[in-house]
Amino acid sequence: MSIFEAGMLFCFGISWPFAIWKVIKTKSVKGVSLLFLSLVFIGYICGITHKYLYSRDWVMLLYVYNCALVLAQLVLYFVYAGSKESC
C-alpha cells in the first residue's frame, strides 16, 4: 500500500462530487469531456483490476468509490448531453 496512491485517490474522491454537483445544478454538460471521463473511468477499472489481482488492500475501496463517481458523471453526461442548455 502506498500512502501517496491513497492520497491521490482521496483527493480525487473529494473533487468528483463537486463536478457532479455542478452538472446537476446547471443541468448542463458544457465543458465536460466525454473522452476525458471515459479515459479516467478506464483508468480506475485498471487500478481496481491491478489491486484485485496483485495487491489487495483497503486502497481498492478508494478506486471503487472514485470509479462509481466517474460512472455517475458519465450517466449525467448522457442524461444532459441532448438538452438545449448543454450546447
What does the pLDDT read at residue 84? 59
Below-70 pLDDT ranges, the chain? 83-87
Is 0.85 surpassed by the pTM of this model? yes
Which grid cell sits at 34?
466525454
Q: What's the rounded Cα separation, in Å, for the pair 13 and 74?
A: 15
Q: What's the rounded Cα separation, in Å, for the pair 42 and 55?
A: 18
- Beta strand ranges found along 12-81 (DSSP E): none
Domain boundaries, the chain: 43-87
What does the pLDDT read at residue 82? 80
